[in-house]
Amino acid sequence: MKLMTAVVKFVQSMPRLFTWERRKAIWAIYVWCRRTDELVDGPNASHITPMALDRWESRLEDLFQGRPYDMLDAALSDTVGKFPVDIQPFKDMIEGMRLDLKKSRYKNFDELYLYCYYVAGTVGLMSVPVMGIAPESQATTESVYNAALSLGIANQLTNILRDVGEDARRGRVYLPQDELAQAGLSDEDIFAGKVTDKWRNFMKNQIKRARMFFDEAEKGVTQLSSASRWPVWASLLLYRQILDEIEANDYDSFTKRAYVSKANKITALPLAYARSLIGPSKISSKVL
């Protein structure tokens, strides 16, 4: 969700780059995602039941049918009417919230990947119809959506690596259990919160994997419409820097929260703009 927050802020601050309809649509999707996320992470999360999520999903189906419950639902209903947004990623995000109610461990990366898809990869799939694919793009629609999915996965993996200590204090470990064991680590080591050589080596591999997903995501950004590329590039480059900050903190995600400084954010914007000028006509579709 944090990546979409960055995109939304950038889009809202650059009205000349995005049409008013696109800005409204991105905002509507963001608001729905935030409300969904807060069902299990917000102040009333302890009272949320599977039945409550079922009701939320029924409400989602209603708004897709043009029957919104409130004004915020109406904003998304309007978006659905103007852009080819599919309901499945939204339903899948709700499924991710169901997972959070019953699951706090992931035995391998396949399980963790599925969770990351539900709670973050879906955001990329929701956004592509609004962001738009450049008319001159020769890439397949599937490849662009796959790149958007990779960006969501990269974003969530970054969240997980940054928030290890915070999650541990809530009794949660969003790390592959088999890979922890292979590194000579266990949940007890996570709860102890000590940075050791075993932990550093484990984190190096996790960060390497997250960067691979960011690399895959980059291939799709060039295929987006010209108005969309700058905000997406900016959010991608800024969010990926969190991984650099984790390394700078000596992999201490237990007591330190990695964040990108204001100076680094300002520095990243011109680079993002320069990259946004490279469109699909200058990139071979074969890379996708």
The pLDDT profile of the chain, 288 residues, written as one tens digit per residue, is 544 555 555 455 444 556 788 889 999 999 999 999 999 887 776 778 899 999 999 999 999 999 999 999 999 999 999 999 999 999 999 999 999 898 999 999 999 999 999 999 999 999 999 999 999 999 999 999 999 999 999 999 999 999 999 999 999 999 999 999 999 999 999 999 999 999 999 999 999 999 999 999 999 999 999 989 988 999 899 999 999 999 999 999 999 999 999 898 888 889 999 999 998 865 444 444
CA distance 31 to 265: 24
What pLDDT was estimated at residue 17? 53
CA distance 7 to 259: 17
Asked if residues 258 and 246 have their Cβ atoms less than 8 Å apart, the reply is yes
What pLDDT was estimated at residue 286? 44
Beta bridge partners of 176: 106
CA distance 55 to 78: 21
Please state the φ and ψ torsions of residue 60, each to the nearest 5 degrees. -60, -45
- Specify the CATH architecture of the domain 86-287: Orthogonal Bundle (1.10)
CA distance 53 to 40: 9
What pLDDT was estimated at residue 282? 53
Residue 89's nearest CA partner among 133, 39, 145, 40 is 145
Burial 196-233 (b: 16+ CB within 10 A, else e): eeebeebbeebbebbbebbebbbbbbbbbbebbbbbbb
What pLDDT was estimated at residue 281? 63
